[in-house]
């Protein structure tokens, strides 16, 4: 049971890390994009939409898309850090 729990937390850590990476790339592409019809911006909008949707429901309606991306990035990084600390507390190696 311990190994299953450890591996599940490790998987959540990896997914949170990848989500933070994708949201970071979305922030960079949105910053560098000159036109709203940019294909790269569309790609990252589609890729990160499932990550942004839950926080869009929580944030106030006047929050901008940029603010939403930054809050999502902070949430992903917090989740990643929390899982890494939990893995370290469980005594396993915190590499991965």
C-alpha pair distances (Å), 5 with each of 54, 72, 81, 91, 92: 25, 26, 17, 13, 12
Q: Which two tokens stand for residue 18?
A: 């990848």
23-75 confidence digits (pLDDT tens): 999 999 999 988 878 899 999 999 999 999 999 999 898 999 999 999 999 99
Q: Which pLDDT value is given to residue 96? A: 45
20, 80 Cβ separation under 8 angstroms: yes
Those residues with Cβ within 8 angstroms of residue 25's Cβ, 6 or more apart along the chain or in another chain: 44
For residues 87-95, give the mean pLDDT: 71
16, 74 Cβ separation under 8 angstroms: no
Residues 62 and 86: their CA atoms lie apart, in Å, by 35
């Amino acid at each position: 049971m311990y190994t299953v729990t450890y591996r599940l937390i490790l998987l959540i850590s990896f997914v949170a890390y990848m989500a933070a990476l994708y949201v970071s790339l979305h922030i960079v592409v949105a910053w560098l994009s000159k036109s709203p019809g940019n294909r790269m911006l569309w790609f990252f909008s589609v890729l990160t939409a499932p990550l942004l949707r839950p926080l869009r429901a929580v944030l106030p309606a006047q929050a901008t898309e940029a603010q939403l991306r930054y809050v999502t990035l902070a949430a992903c990084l917090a989740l990643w850090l929390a899982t890494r600390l939990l893995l370290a507390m469980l005594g396993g190696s915190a590499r991965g």
